[in-house]
Amino acid sequence: MSKFLLSVMLPFVALAMTACGSDSGTATLKPEKTETETPVDTLRYSAESHLENLRQLTFGGDNAEAYFSFDDRKLVFQASNDAWGAECDQIYTMGFDGTDPAKAPQMLSTGKGRTTCSFFLPGNEEIVYASTHLADDACPEAPRVLNGKYVWPVFSSFDIFVADLEGNVLRQLTDEPGYDAEATVSPDGKKIVFTSDRSGDLELYTMDIDGSNVRQITSGLGYDGGAFFSPDSKKLIFRASRPTAEEDVKVYKDLLAQGLVQPTNMELYVCNAEDGSELRQITDLGKANWAPYFHPSGEKVIFASNHHQPSGRVFNLFMIDLDGENLEQITHDDTFDAFPMFSYDGKQLVFSSNRFNGGTRATNVFLADWKE
């Protein structure tokens, strides 16, 4: 999802990451205060030199994984908000003027179950997203801690659906037993990448835009998810856990058997979208590196990470070249910044943040002009 709702990790951060990002992608912790710059232009910090005209689009609740339509005119995002009657994550759309705090925006999901990881399809009149609504109308419980360890739920009731902008489900794209979620669409509009456990492990798969021609892309033990295509649609960037020690492998397998994963150690990988070849790890930073998205040049990626902060409670956006060189910090907030996406024309960046939320747990969507 994470573009699921992916929740990011650690006992002190309650985020639902399915990452597209993952199951929610929203932080609910009020982190410890750290040194930071004086805010300028109201919402950005002076060190955030790549961001201009930063504006807030949502106000309250948990709002995350906002992604552009192909024409860069709309956003689709997931949110839970008591004021909107959304007990757990549902899918919504909004324009660049944001949401009206007094009323809920247009809901595109059914309002039942839990949803995650929505993305526009070519033509901008349909979206793809994952939902548990066929299994139960109720919001499934999402355990956070098991035996003292922070975990994400991997709901076996998630399947991938297509809906129109009125919220009508038009078709179901997956119908396999187990988890199918975290779908995103290639810029050329031909393919969808998603995460599934149909092989017994959490791997990446691609399918044609109509759900046909499903192909397994990754096969390494560990949780592969939150994948996005490169601007030319030829590569995939994703985050993965890769347990190798005997005890780590056992813990991973035992948790997965219970429909859970522990997302505290993740790095970024890139591979060919056609068949998963030329797989290589591009970060080796430690802690949690996730929610990657290609820079418009296709030569580097922006992502969220807590590697720079000793307690792991602060997440910022970073940029890195595909060869793992030239790491650059993009945001300098002292709370939580994640789920970045560049507009298709490369002029804007959308992301989710806990910045300037008045000391609440609200995670909101922010939109900025991008400056190289």
Nearest Cα to Cα of residue 270 among 305, 230, 222, 330 = 230
Residue 176 to residues 7, 157, 196, 197: CA-CA distances in angstroms?
A: 24, 10, 9, 9
Edge-first strand order for the sheet with 51-56 is: 51-56, 364-370, 348-353, 337-342
Average pLDDT, the chain: 90
Identity of the residue numbered 363: T
> What percentage of the chain exceeds 70 in pLDDT?
89
pLDDT at res. 19: 55
Listed in sequence order, the residues at least 6 apart from 152 whose beta carbon sits closer than 8 Å to its beta carbon are: 6, 7, 9, 16, 17, 18, 22, 23, 260, 261, 262, 263
Q: What mean pLDDT is predicted for residues 291-318?
A: 96
Has residue 280 got a pLDDT over 50?
yes
Euclidean distance between CA atoms 279 and 296, whole angstroms: 21
Instruction: Spell out the domains of the chain, with CATH numbers in brackets.
Output: 39-370 (2.120.10.30)
pLDDT-based confidence at 39, cuts 50/70/90? low
pLDDT-based confidence at 16, cuts 50/70/90? very low
Task: Work out the end-to-end distance of the chain between its first and last CA atoms, rounded to an integer number of angstroms.
Answer: 27
Tell me the per-residue pLDDT of 42-85, one tens digit each, with 9 for 90 and over: 899 999 999 999 999 999 999 999 999 999 999 999 999 999 99
